[in-house]
Amino acid sequence: MITVVQRVAWARVSVAGEAVGAIDRGLLLLVGVERGDGPADADATARKVAALRLFPDRTPMDRSVVDVGGGCLVVSQFTLAAELRHGNRPDFTAAAEPAVAAPLYERVAGQLAATGLVVATGRFGAAMQVELANDGPVTVVLTVRDGKVVPRPEPAAGPGD
């Protein structure tokens, strides 16, 4: 499961001109469910997001969304599973089928709501327009496999290294 997490001053998602979800200060989550993802991945994603210290206090990254009383806008984003190595057209075969992805995406939202957070969602499978004011800007990518956060790959050594 791949999740792009953005700290926002506000965010909203619309479908066909109708606002379907909105939050004030908080986190916008773009959630991509991949083949092989399961409930443990959704649960680990929600736990990590709720605990991420992305809001300022004594330091620039000191408080969680729970600590600041923020909300989460959770939007499905199958395009995060795109494979881009070959050619110029993204390949989405790594994305989970909708019958699998929808309940896992909804589980992330439900687990966040269970922590007491205000949670809004987009509409799974719909063409959505997402508007936001990225605060900072702060954007991080969270990848979870087999119920565990996956570390970022080590950067390749460059010419100056």
Does the active-site annotation cover 129?
no
Q: Which of 6, 45, 77, 111 is catalytic?
A: 77
Burial zone of 38 (CB within 10 Å; 0-12 exposed, 13-18 middle, 19+ buried) = middle
Q: Which of 78, 93, 121, 139 is catalytic?
A: 78
Does the active-site annotation cover 79?
yes
Closest CA to 105 of 41, 19, 10, 16: 41
Helix (H, G, I), strand (E, B) or coil at 95: strand
Q: Which of 79, 92, 93, 139 is catalytic?
A: 79
Q: Report d(CA 39, CA 27) in Å as an integer.
A: 21
Active site residues: 77-79
